[in-house]
Structure 1
Protein backbone atom coordinates (compact mmCIF):
# COMPACT_ATOMS: atom_id res chain seq x y z
CA UNK A 1 0.00 0.00 0.00
CA UNK A 2 2.97 2.28 0.47
CA UNK A 3 3.65 2.08 -3.27
CA UNK A 4 0.06 3.17 -3.97
CA UNK A 5 0.49 6.20 -1.70
CA UNK A 6 3.86 7.16 -3.23
CA UNK A 7 2.59 6.97 -6.81
CA UNK A 8 -0.58 8.87 -5.85
CA UNK A 9 1.48 11.66 -4.27
CA UNK A 10 3.93 11.83 -7.19
CA UNK A 11 1.20 12.00 -9.83
CA UNK A 12 -0.75 14.58 -7.83
CA UNK A 13 2.37 16.75 -7.34
CA UNK A 14 3.41 16.49 -11.00
CA UNK A 15 -0.10 17.35 -12.18
CA UNK A 16 -0.45 20.36 -9.91
CA UNK A 17 3.10 21.58 -10.65
CA UNK A 18 2.56 21.45 -14.42
CA UNK A 19 -0.78 23.23 -14.13
CA UNK A 20 0.71 25.93 -11.90
CA UNK A 21 3.65 26.45 -14.23
CA UNK A 22 1.70 26.48 -17.48
CA UNK A 23 -1.37 28.40 -16.32
CA UNK A 24 0.26 30.89 -13.94
CA UNK A 25 3.97 31.19 -14.75
CA UNK A 26 3.70 30.94 -18.54
CA UNK A 27 0.43 32.88 -18.39
CA UNK A 28 -1.51 30.48 -20.58
CA UNK A 29 -4.77 31.56 -18.94
CA UNK A 30 -4.30 35.00 -20.54
CA UNK A 31 -2.33 34.02 -23.66
CA UNK A 32 -4.64 31.07 -24.45
CA UNK A 33 -2.13 29.42 -26.81
CA UNK A 34 1.58 28.72 -26.96
CA UNK A 35 3.09 26.72 -29.80
CA UNK A 36 5.82 24.46 -28.43
CA UNK A 37 6.59 22.05 -31.29
CA UNK A 38 3.85 22.75 -33.81
CA UNK A 39 1.79 20.88 -34.79
CA UNK A 40 2.85 17.99 -32.57
CA UNK A 41 2.78 19.67 -29.15
CA UNK A 42 0.98 22.88 -28.34
CA UNK A 43 -0.39 24.48 -25.22
CA UNK A 44 -4.04 25.48 -25.56
CA UNK A 45 -5.93 26.76 -22.52
CA UNK A 46 -9.23 24.97 -21.97
CA UNK A 47 -11.29 25.13 -18.79
CA UNK A 48 -13.18 21.84 -18.67
CA UNK A 49 -16.25 22.19 -16.49
CA UNK A 50 -17.46 18.70 -17.36
CA UNK A 51 -16.01 15.26 -17.93
CA UNK A 52 -14.08 14.04 -20.95
CA UNK A 53 -14.94 15.94 -24.12
CA UNK A 54 -17.02 18.42 -22.08
CA UNK A 55 -19.79 16.04 -20.98
CA UNK A 56 -21.87 17.54 -18.12
CA UNK A 57 -20.26 20.93 -18.76
CA UNK A 58 -23.55 22.83 -18.76
CA UNK A 59 -24.75 21.70 -15.35
CA UNK A 60 -23.11 24.57 -13.38
CA UNK A 61 -22.35 24.05 -9.72
CA UNK A 62 -24.45 20.90 -9.48
CA UNK A 63 -22.34 19.19 -12.15
CA UNK A 64 -19.12 20.47 -10.56
CA UNK A 65 -19.96 19.07 -7.12
CA UNK A 66 -21.33 15.86 -8.62
CA UNK A 67 -18.04 15.30 -10.48
CA UNK A 68 -16.04 16.06 -7.33
CA UNK A 69 -18.12 13.52 -5.40
CA UNK A 70 -17.76 10.87 -8.12
CA UNK A 71 -13.97 11.37 -8.31
CA UNK A 72 -13.61 11.12 -4.54
CA UNK A 73 -15.85 8.04 -4.39
CA UNK A 74 -13.89 6.31 -7.16
CA UNK A 75 -10.59 7.21 -5.51
CA UNK A 76 -11.78 5.81 -2.17
CA UNK A 77 -13.22 2.72 -3.85
CA UNK A 78 -10.01 1.95 -5.76
CA UNK A 79 -7.91 2.49 -2.63
CA UNK A 80 -10.12 0.21 -0.51
CA UNK A 81 -10.24 -2.41 -3.26
CA UNK A 82 -6.45 -2.51 -3.53
CA UNK A 83 -6.09 -2.56 0.27
CA UNK A 84 -8.24 -5.66 0.73
CA UNK A 85 -5.38 -8.05 0.06
CA UNK A 86 -1.93 -8.45 -1.41
CA UNK A 87 -1.62 -6.88 -4.84
CA UNK A 88 1.03 -7.04 -7.52
CA UNK A 89 3.17 -3.88 -7.66
CA UNK A 90 1.87 -3.06 -11.15
CA UNK A 91 -1.69 -2.97 -9.77
CA UNK A 92 -0.63 -0.58 -7.00
CA UNK A 93 1.13 1.67 -9.53
CA UNK A 94 -1.98 1.64 -11.72
CA UNK A 95 -4.17 2.51 -8.75
CA UNK A 96 -1.81 5.30 -7.75
CA UNK A 97 -1.93 6.76 -11.26
CA UNK A 98 -5.73 6.75 -11.26
CA UNK A 99 -6.15 8.13 -7.73
CA UNK A 100 -3.42 10.78 -8.09
CA UNK A 101 -4.91 12.01 -11.36
CA UNK A 102 -8.44 12.05 -9.99
CA UNK A 103 -7.37 14.03 -6.92
CA UNK A 104 -5.47 16.49 -9.13
CA UNK A 105 -8.62 17.22 -11.11
CA UNK A 106 -10.66 17.49 -7.88
CA UNK A 107 -8.33 20.23 -6.65
CA UNK A 108 -8.80 22.09 -9.95
CA UNK A 109 -12.57 21.95 -9.58
CA UNK A 110 -12.32 23.23 -6.01
CA UNK A 111 -9.85 26.03 -6.80
CA UNK A 112 -10.84 27.13 -10.32
CA UNK A 113 -14.35 25.71 -10.67
CA UNK A 114 -13.11 23.71 -13.68
CA UNK A 115 -10.24 21.45 -14.70
CA UNK A 116 -7.29 23.20 -16.34
CA UNK A 117 -6.55 21.38 -19.60
CA UNK A 118 -3.67 22.63 -21.71
CA UNK A 119 -1.87 19.87 -23.65
CA UNK A 120 -2.84 19.65 -27.31
CA UNK A 121 -1.25 17.24 -29.77
CA UNK A 122 -1.89 16.97 -33.48
CA UNK A 123 -0.22 15.06 -36.26
CA UNK A 124 -0.24 14.19 -39.89
CA UNK A 125 -2.61 16.91 -41.08
CA UNK A 126 -5.26 16.07 -38.47
CA UNK A 127 -5.88 18.94 -36.07
CA UNK A 128 -6.95 17.78 -32.62
CA UNK A 129 -9.47 20.23 -31.10
CA UNK A 130 -9.18 18.77 -27.59
CA UNK A 131 -6.81 19.56 -24.73
CA UNK A 132 -5.89 17.41 -21.74
CA UNK A 133 -3.51 17.46 -18.77
CA UNK A 134 -1.17 15.21 -16.80
CA UNK A 135 -4.02 14.03 -14.56
CA UNK A 136 -6.02 12.89 -17.58
CA UNK A 137 -3.07 10.86 -18.86
CA UNK A 138 -2.59 9.29 -15.42
CA UNK A 139 -6.29 8.47 -15.03
CA UNK A 140 -6.40 6.79 -18.43
CA UNK A 141 -3.17 4.83 -17.86
CA UNK A 142 -4.23 3.86 -14.34
CA UNK A 143 -7.68 2.65 -15.39
CA UNK A 144 -6.19 0.68 -18.27
CA UNK A 145 -3.58 -0.83 -15.94
CA UNK A 146 -6.21 -1.86 -13.40
CA UNK A 147 -8.19 -3.61 -16.12
CA UNK A 148 -5.16 -5.36 -17.56
CA UNK A 149 -3.19 -6.20 -14.42
CA UNK A 150 -5.84 -7.06 -11.82
CA UNK A 151 -8.49 -9.70 -11.53
CA UNK A 152 -8.69 -13.23 -10.49
CA UNK A 153 -5.80 -15.50 -11.20
CA UNK A 154 -6.74 -18.19 -13.67
CA UNK A 155 -6.72 -21.62 -12.15
CA UNK A 156 -6.54 -24.84 -14.18
Structure 2
Protein backbone atom coordinates (compact mmCIF):
# COMPACT_ATOMS: atom_id res chain seq x y z
CA UNK A 1 0.00 0.00 0.00
CA UNK A 2 3.00 2.30 0.49
CA UNK A 3 3.74 2.45 -3.23
CA UNK A 4 0.10 3.19 -4.02
CA UNK A 5 0.04 6.05 -1.51
CA UNK A 6 3.27 7.44 -2.94
CA UNK A 7 1.96 7.25 -6.52
CA UNK A 8 -1.29 8.96 -5.51
CA UNK A 9 0.71 11.78 -3.91
CA UNK A 10 3.12 12.09 -6.86
CA UNK A 11 0.70 11.59 -9.77
CA UNK A 12 -2.98 11.91 -8.91
CA UNK A 13 -3.04 15.04 -6.74
CA UNK A 14 -0.47 17.02 -8.77
CA UNK A 15 -2.30 16.26 -12.02
CA UNK A 16 -5.68 17.28 -10.64
CA UNK A 17 -4.10 20.44 -9.21
CA UNK A 18 -2.31 21.28 -12.46
CA UNK A 19 -5.53 20.75 -14.40
CA UNK A 20 -7.43 23.02 -12.02
CA UNK A 21 -4.74 25.73 -12.12
CA UNK A 22 -4.49 25.76 -15.92
CA UNK A 23 -8.27 25.90 -16.31
CA UNK A 24 -8.43 28.83 -13.89
CA UNK A 25 -5.70 30.57 -15.90
CA UNK A 26 -7.55 29.88 -19.14
CA UNK A 27 -10.70 31.46 -17.74
CA UNK A 28 -8.89 34.57 -16.52
CA UNK A 29 -6.52 35.03 -19.47
CA UNK A 30 -8.25 33.54 -22.52
CA UNK A 31 -12.01 33.88 -22.04
CA UNK A 32 -13.33 36.52 -24.43
CA UNK A 33 -9.93 36.93 -26.09
CA UNK A 34 -8.66 36.01 -29.54
CA UNK A 35 -6.72 32.72 -29.68
CA UNK A 36 -2.97 32.89 -29.12
CA UNK A 37 -0.95 31.02 -31.73
CA UNK A 38 2.54 29.57 -31.31
CA UNK A 39 5.02 27.55 -33.39
CA UNK A 40 3.69 28.77 -36.72
CA UNK A 41 0.11 27.89 -35.77
CA UNK A 42 0.92 24.35 -34.62
CA UNK A 43 -0.11 25.11 -31.01
CA UNK A 44 -2.88 27.51 -30.01
CA UNK A 45 -4.42 28.62 -26.76
CA UNK A 46 -8.12 29.27 -27.26
CA UNK A 47 -10.97 29.35 -24.75
CA UNK A 48 -13.77 26.82 -25.19
CA UNK A 49 -16.44 25.43 -22.87
CA UNK A 50 -17.45 21.86 -23.65
CA UNK A 51 -20.85 20.65 -22.49
CA UNK A 52 -20.36 17.22 -24.05
CA UNK A 53 -17.81 14.47 -23.73
CA UNK A 54 -14.70 13.95 -25.82
CA UNK A 55 -14.86 16.01 -29.02
CA UNK A 56 -18.14 17.49 -27.73
CA UNK A 57 -19.99 14.19 -28.20
CA UNK A 58 -23.35 14.47 -26.50
CA UNK A 59 -23.30 18.28 -26.32
CA UNK A 60 -26.66 18.37 -28.09
CA UNK A 61 -28.37 16.27 -25.40
CA UNK A 62 -30.73 17.94 -22.96
CA UNK A 63 -29.28 19.45 -19.79
CA UNK A 64 -30.87 16.74 -17.65
CA UNK A 65 -29.46 13.88 -19.73
CA UNK A 66 -26.00 15.48 -19.79
CA UNK A 67 -26.01 15.86 -15.99
CA UNK A 68 -27.02 12.22 -15.54
CA UNK A 69 -24.54 10.93 -18.12
CA UNK A 70 -21.48 13.17 -17.74
CA UNK A 71 -21.70 14.03 -14.05
CA UNK A 72 -23.59 11.35 -12.14
CA UNK A 73 -22.69 8.20 -14.12
CA UNK A 74 -19.12 9.29 -14.85
CA UNK A 75 -18.73 10.16 -11.16
CA UNK A 76 -19.93 6.69 -10.14
CA UNK A 77 -17.52 5.04 -12.61
CA UNK A 78 -14.60 7.15 -11.37
CA UNK A 79 -15.30 6.47 -7.69
CA UNK A 80 -15.79 2.77 -8.45
CA UNK A 81 -12.57 2.72 -10.45
CA UNK A 82 -10.64 4.37 -7.63
CA UNK A 83 -11.99 1.94 -5.04
CA UNK A 84 -11.20 -1.00 -7.34
CA UNK A 85 -7.63 0.21 -7.86
CA UNK A 86 -7.09 0.72 -4.13
CA UNK A 87 -8.29 -2.74 -3.09
CA UNK A 88 -7.06 -4.85 -6.02
CA UNK A 89 -3.44 -5.96 -5.95
CA UNK A 90 -1.72 -4.57 -9.05
CA UNK A 91 1.77 -3.71 -10.13
CA UNK A 92 3.02 -0.13 -10.03
CA UNK A 93 2.82 0.26 -13.82
CA UNK A 94 -0.84 -0.71 -14.06
CA UNK A 95 -1.65 1.40 -11.02
CA UNK A 96 0.13 4.40 -12.54
CA UNK A 97 -1.74 4.26 -15.85
CA UNK A 98 -4.98 3.84 -13.95
CA UNK A 99 -4.15 6.91 -11.85
CA UNK A 100 -3.52 8.95 -15.01
CA UNK A 101 -6.97 8.09 -16.35
CA UNK A 102 -8.66 8.70 -13.00
CA UNK A 103 -6.86 12.00 -12.40
CA UNK A 104 -8.01 13.27 -15.78
CA UNK A 105 -11.52 12.01 -15.18
CA UNK A 106 -11.77 13.60 -11.74
CA UNK A 107 -10.31 16.86 -13.09
CA UNK A 108 -13.01 17.12 -15.73
CA UNK A 109 -15.71 15.90 -13.33
CA UNK A 110 -14.77 18.63 -10.85
CA UNK A 111 -14.95 21.19 -13.65
CA UNK A 112 -18.47 20.03 -14.58
CA UNK A 113 -19.56 20.18 -10.95
CA UNK A 114 -18.43 23.77 -10.42
CA UNK A 115 -18.99 25.07 -13.95
CA UNK A 116 -22.67 24.29 -14.59
CA UNK A 117 -21.94 21.07 -16.49
CA UNK A 118 -19.20 22.56 -18.69
CA UNK A 119 -15.53 21.66 -18.98
CA UNK A 120 -13.00 24.36 -19.85
CA UNK A 121 -10.79 23.40 -22.80
CA UNK A 122 -8.06 25.68 -24.08
CA UNK A 123 -5.36 23.91 -26.12
CA UNK A 124 -5.43 23.08 -29.81
CA UNK A 125 -2.88 21.41 -32.08
CA UNK A 126 -3.02 21.97 -35.84
CA UNK A 127 -0.81 20.90 -38.71
CA UNK A 128 -2.13 22.07 -42.06
CA UNK A 129 -5.70 20.82 -42.44
CA UNK A 130 -5.32 18.35 -39.54
CA UNK A 131 -6.26 19.52 -36.07
CA UNK A 132 -7.24 18.12 -32.73
CA UNK A 133 -10.32 19.06 -30.79
CA UNK A 134 -9.76 21.69 -28.11
CA UNK A 135 -8.47 19.93 -24.98
CA UNK A 136 -7.08 20.47 -21.48
CA UNK A 137 -4.55 18.96 -19.05
CA UNK A 138 -7.08 16.40 -17.79
CA UNK A 139 -7.57 15.17 -21.36
CA UNK A 140 -3.79 14.79 -21.75
CA UNK A 141 -3.69 12.69 -18.56
CA UNK A 142 -6.52 10.48 -19.81
CA UNK A 143 -4.85 9.95 -23.20
CA UNK A 144 -1.46 9.27 -21.55
CA UNK A 145 -3.17 6.70 -19.34
CA UNK A 146 -4.85 5.04 -22.31
CA UNK A 147 -1.59 4.86 -24.26
CA UNK A 148 0.12 3.59 -21.10
CA UNK A 149 -2.56 0.92 -20.73
CA UNK A 150 -1.98 -0.21 -24.32
CA UNK A 151 1.75 -0.41 -23.64
CA UNK A 152 1.43 -2.21 -20.29
CA UNK A 153 -0.93 -4.68 -21.95
CA UNK A 154 1.48 -5.32 -24.84
CA UNK A 155 4.20 -7.97 -24.95
CA UNK A 156 6.81 -5.26 -24.13
CA UNK A 157 4.80 -4.14 -21.13
CA UNK A 158 4.38 -7.73 -19.98
CA UNK A 159 8.18 -8.12 -20.07
CA UNK A 160 8.60 -4.89 -18.09
CA UNK A 161 6.09 -6.01 -15.48
CA UNK A 162 7.68 -9.45 -15.07
CA UNK A 163 11.19 -8.09 -14.50
For the aligned pair, the TM-score class normalised by the smaller chain equals: 0.7 to 0.9
SS of equivalent residue, structure 2 residue 122: strand
For 1:98-109, what aligned pairs fall within 5 Å after superposition? 98-109=101-112
After TM superposition, the structure 1 stretch with the greater mean CA deviation from structure 2, 46-55 or 71-80, is 71-80
For 1:13-32, what aligned pairs fall within 5 Å after superposition? 13-24=17-28, 26=29, 28-32=30-34
Higher share in helix: 2
User: Structure 1 residue aligned with 2:144, among 141, 146, 151?
Assistant: 141
Partner of 2:75: 72
Partner of 1:2: 5
For 1:127-138, what aligned pairs fall within 5 Å after superposition? 127-128=130-131, 130-138=133-141
Name the count of aligned residue pairs.
150
Counterpart Cα distance in 1 of 2:148 and 2:70 = 22
* 1:17 to 1:75, Cα distance in 2 relative to 1, 3 A: same
For 1:108-123, what aligned pairs fall within 5 Å after superposition? 108-113=111-116, 114-123=118-127
SS of equivalent residue, structure 1 residue 31: coil
* RMSD, aligned α-carbons: 2.3
Counterpart Cα distance in 2 of 1:73 and 1:144 = 23
Any idea what the Cα deviations from partners look like across 1:33-92, whole Å, max 9, x if unmatched?
Answer: 122333111012221100111111022322134201232222223222222333221222
SS of equivalent residue, structure 1 residue 121: strand
Counterpart Cα distance in 1 of 2:25 and 2:74 = 24
* 1:144 to 1:80, Cα distance in 2 relative to 1, 3 A: farther
Q: Give the TM-score normalised by the residue count of structure 2.
A: 0.80
Counterpart Cα distance in 1 of 2:49 and 2:98 = 26
Displacement of 1:143 in angstroms is 2.9
